[in-house]
Structure 1
Amino acid sequence: MTTLPRQVPPAAGATPGPELVQLLTPEGERVDHPDHAVDLGAEQLRGLYRDMVLTRRFDGEAIALQRQGELGLWPSLLGQEAAQVGSARALRDDDYAFPSYREHGVAWCRGVDPLNLLGMFRGVNHGGWDPTSNNFHLYTLVIGAHVPHATGYAMGLAKDGADAAAVAYFGDGATSQGDVAEAFNFAAVFDAPVVFFCQNNQWAISEPNEKQTRVPIYRRAAGFGFPGVRVDGNDVLAVLAVTQTALERARSGNGPTLIEAYTYRMGAHTTSDDASRYRLDAEREEWEAKDPIARLKTYLSAEGFADDAFYAEVETASDALARRVREGVRSMPDPQPMAIFDNAHADGHALVDEERAQFAAYQASFAGSQEGAA
């Protein structure tokens, strides 16, 4: 059996090859790319920094709340802030995003209150936001299942003659699902205005890339007849530029694009996972040198686009968000056990009614035991 080498981007400080679009090196130095460019003012650059810092802080608070028993589970995005914020800020208001379950940075940029996300992982709501109010679909926990939905929505946009696009977010593990391949094929055949945004964070739970694919993920697009591009997923400027290009292509009627944002999941897959059991500390340390927030901060400071007062203001806003998140979650009511059956079907369903009755009897059995014990 032949073991393929890990597919890794250039080491920190090295010049990226043609396969990796990069505009900001890990050292915070601005570089050019022949096919992708972005021209942002100081205020816009500071906005990207603020988005990433606040998203990371909110994510960290969610991890702490889960450890304290306030949430049932939490999938961290630590290390993937640039991939999410950069792509989300390329979207227009009329574009529609289909997330999986880790797109907290995209949710933030689309105006979803973090407490709605936390309420879902606390079991208080089933998402808690109206997808049509900000064109951000509810989270999808089934791996890859939402990618055909994004393609179908995009096909509808094309039939309606709308000047908009859809974007589907998924991880490297989802590319092994048949749903994703089917979505690729439909999108290609019908020139659907959709961008497939794969956050390749190197690990599908505990499975590394080399156990998922024999070629870089972005190259799969060629087999379906549309372009693919690999971008430095820790470079918020490059992600923004590449996503803008792909969205403009889609809106112009030229069909889909597959973006592979090459990044790294700094934390565990979820709070129920122990990443130390399947990967080395040295690997994480290597990627810490490519931190997306640190490199943008270095660039902002070096160019005089931000000063200590700005960073202090962001830190204050970060603290305020953390307090609001903690207080908001702890003040949430406990979910009502029977509410899980509500709205399962608009007009009721015999099987749901049967299951509701069985669960009600099960709950009642505990109440009887407590009364007997008393």
Structure 2
Amino acid sequence: MTSFGVSPPKPVTPDHDYAELSRLVRASGLLRRRHRYYAVKITLNVLAFAGGWVGFAFIGDSWWQLFLAAFFAFMFAQLAFIGHDAGHRQIFRTGRANDVIGFWHGGMVGLSYGWWIDQHTRHHANPNHEQDDPDLDIPALAFTGAQGDAKRGFLRWMAKYQAFLFFPLLLLEGFSLHVASVQTLRRTGLRARKTEALLLVAHFAVYLTAVFLVLSPLTAVVFILAHQCLWGVYMGCSFAPGHKGMPTMTGQSLDFLRKQVLTSRNVRGGTWVDFTLGGLNYQIEHHLFPSMPRPNLRRAQPIVREFCARHDIEYTQCGWLRTYGYVLQHLHAIGAPLRAASREPAVP
């Protein structure tokens, strides 16, 4: 099996500050693998996931299944977080072992692991870069003034009011992830293409058969909509705080350390936030050390924050709800010129 993996790109110019920080983190032992943690985490996730399907069969054709739809939305995200960690080689040292976990978890939630690796590698290499970060290339949204000016027709209207549409659009994120995964199978250069195809076909076949076998058609459709929409909101709310509304790097040339820190935002919180966001609340530490096991990110944070303070590098962190406020303010500000232009009288 071809090895995948998301690793930090080598900076174009010497990055002595990053080298110094890396020595501090490595000396603290925070890059060592946490096999026991992941063994327990994966086992509990799989048991909970399997238990949910047992409960699904036991409850039968009932509207009570909507509570399980919310449960499965939560579990899909938790399983996707493990796939994310595997893609970064946080679980094992070898790429092959991590890929086994990544493909397995991608198959459980109906995502192409290979597609995600390609997207995420480019994102980590150029976070918040208008041309090179695929996470900024979302047709329904504009994250920079240039993107807003380039919108036409209905997409331009959406960009005007994107702050109001942001959370409703997240309801479609789960479906979008499935569609992108299936579309990826048409790429002849996709590594492990047959494996991906088999896993995705198996996922949709088992998922749809179980839902329509147990539930009546109407209940089944509502269950699927509730499950996929809630999952999309959860995924979007987990990934958006890390970079949206932070400075963009288009046209700027910074060393690796500053490029990663200045474009990332941490979410303040305790163990519950760590669990709910799958460690993505430590976005700065994760971008600086992508292969660092998830449970070590919390311990790395004071080291990185103190280092940034000593080197006068702005380190951004705020509460969970405040983070979404910043995201929405940014989207609203980008849409402001478009709204103003639509109110101007036409020149005869």
Q: TM-score range by the shorter chain?
A: under 0.3
Which protein has greater RCO, CA pairs closer than 8 Å, 6+ apart? 2
Higher helix share: 2
Larger strand proportion of the pair: 1
- TM-score scaled by length of structure 2: 0.26
TM normalised by structure 1 equals 0.25
